[in-house]
Amino acid sequence: MAIPLWAGAVIMGFRSKIKNALAHFLPQGTPTPLIPMLVIIETISLLIQPMALAVRLTANITAGHLLMHLIGSATLAMS
């Protein structure tokens, strides 16, 4: 569900203001020899971002469930 939303936001950003969207791939003042490498790195970063966010969300949900289980078990053990 999140990937289509992310993809839609990226596509809409490119459609509405292509110059501003492309400016995120290249910081100002970048030396000319580094431009191709930075564009590739930033593109890979943009494509990996949803997977990294999914891993973080999964880890946070798992940690929350573990904490609820531990607190529930401790409460039952104390009563």
> Using one digit for the tens of pLDDT, what is the confidence trace for 17-48?
888 878 888 888 889 999 899 989 999 998 89
Report H helices in 1-79: 2-16, 18-23, 35-78
Structural domain range at position 20: 2-78
DSSP code of residue 28: T
What's the number of domains the chain is made of? 1
Q: Using CB atoms within 10 A of its CB, is residue 46 exposed (0-12), middle (13-18) or buried (19+)? A: middle
Structure confidence at residue 23 (pLDDT): 81
Q: Is the pLDDT at 2 greater than 80, yes or no?
A: no
Q: Classify residue 17 as left (phi > 0), alpha (psi -120 to 50) or beta.
A: beta
Residue in the structure block whose two tokens are 């494509």: 47
Confidence of residue 68 (pLDDT cuts 50, 70, 90): very high
